[in-house]
Structure 1
């Protein structure tokens, strides 16, 4: 099921992710923090609409939040994480294939 998650570290970011019921999404996103891929996603791909409050966004802006974050974050986890952190992310985010 696709669902929008708010993730806050130094500011709030919104991601539409494809997850299973009961997935540990907040923990999975926390495991990704600090990886090169996650930082790239936030700095190079995220725009001002991610920093806005969700209710303030137009429907056109909301659609930009779902630019394949699930698949991208799974690839980052597979490439940059090991052990329990990697497993947590891969189990929490659905495989699109």
Structure 2
């Protein structure tokens, strides 16, 4: 985290501190020496939300999950075998 803004500085400088920080990428907001939030530019925010599939209002959670691309590399048989081994200890 090299683009950090403390809550104290944010209170003191306001939006000017945010605008200045965003010139260097996302801003990590620190509160009591802990990361509390991240501020993104509108452009970066839009890029992130459009990269994900948004559920349709009438879609169930299961339908949405089944539409997501597979991220794993193991086949079903391999997973089933691994689970069977774990259960037979």
TM over 0.5: no
Q: Rg larger in 1 or in 2?
A: 2
Name the structure, 1 or 2, with higher relative contact order (CA <8 Å, separation 6+).
1
State the TM-score, normalized to the length of structure 1.
0.20
TM-score by length of 2: 0.21
